Amino acid sequence: MAKSTKARLEKTYHQLLKQHGLQLPDEPPDKRDIMAQLMTEAKQNADGHYLKALFSSDMLERFMRYDRLLQSVLDKASREIETDIKQSGLSSEDPVVFVGEFPIGEFNAGVKPVSGGALILFNTGLAMFLYAAVQILVWFMVSVARKQSKYSLEDIVSALTEQVLAYLRFPTRLTTFRSLPFQGGAEQLLGAVAMESCCKFVLTHEYAHVIAGHLTSPRIVIRTAVGDLELMAKRRQQELEADALAIQIMRKSLEREKLRGHTFAASLAAGPLIFFALDELVSRARKELFGTPKTSFHSHPPSSERSAFVRSLLKQNGGDRLLELGDIYVSWLSAMTEHVIRLIRLRQQL
């Protein structure tokens, strides 16, 4: 996509934020890619040195203040997805889109058609929630495997519940979570890779809507915490079509990750499965808190159905071995979900 087109769409995005009383703070140009750079270095150096810098309290605090660091992560993912789309032969040109953050109030992203293209709006706080939730899960899995942990199951459930409640109760901003009950390089690396994989699938799914021609679909007006927002409506069949196309786009990334090693490919494939499992957890928690698993996209297939569909597609691409890591994540997360819901019910009674 031409830089002028991207700049025009970015300007439209900032106008949208302004219309809803939101604004991203300015970030010096030389810092725009700092998170993407550190993420790359963290993947390449698993000795904990870069991880200490990437996940220091100062870096996390900046990341959680709704600043340009998250935008850098989204920009990086967008570039990779657009490269995969070209290499897959699905489109000879880059989709005319800009990806940014917006409090749409959904455990998802949405597509807003605009003049000459589209905005993909990634829900505020979702990336940080994914990181925190997956990090807790990874830490627990690793500690159980090593048969050594100074924290009980109750500690882990409480930490995960805290992240879910913070995400649901503060829809317009990234919240400052309490310190998570763990430290360590390997666990942080696994959590970062899993979070990035989740985010990338969410964005790839929305890109798939665009290149599949769904922008001509009817519009839907959703009510957000910062006012009404018009987005592209998503019919049930379009959702499954976008999931299938997203996995087709991801094939190129899977091929590249396999060259780096099986663990990297398995981590990428785990992203969609983790996302759907967390979506189920958040939906159930929302129902406990507010009486309904609210969503503006009523035609969305259930997360369980989408997960099974996407899993079957991934299996066709890499067999059961590619799914082993994702299945482990989902198995542990399913067990944690029941504990979290019970704790939420208990807190509701107090």
307 vs 176, higher pLDDT? 307
Lowest average pLDDT, out of 46-60, 256-270, 321-335, goes to: 46-60
Is pLDDT at 57 greater than 50 in this prediction?
Answer: no
Give the CA distances from residue 207 to residues 69, 109, 174, 286, in Å, rounded to whole numbers and listed in that order. Answer: 21, 10, 24, 27
Q: Is this model's pTM higher than 0.85 or not?
A: no
Q: What residues pair up with 232 in beta bridges, in sequence order?
A: 219
CB 111 within 8 A of CB 9: no
Q: Tell me the two tokens of residue 91.
A: 């489109």
Range 123-135 burial, b when 16+ CB lie within 10 A, else e: bbbbbbbbbbbbb
pLDDT at 212: 92
- H/E stretch holding 169 reads helix 153-169
CB 186 within 8 A of CB 133: no
Please state the domain extents for the chain.
3-349
Cβ neighbours of residue 297 closer than 8 Å, sequence gap 6 or more: 106, 108, 220, 233, 234
- Nearest of 67, 288, 57 to residue 164 by alpha carbon: 288
What is the percent of the chain with per-residue pLDDT over 70, rounded to a whole number?
Answer: 77
φ, ψ of residue 241 in degrees (nearest 5):
-65, -40
204 confidence band (pLDDT: 50, 70, 90)? very high
Cα 130 to its chain centre, rounded Å, is: 6
Length of the chain equals 350
Q: Is 98 helix (H, G, I), strand (E, B) or coil?
A: strand
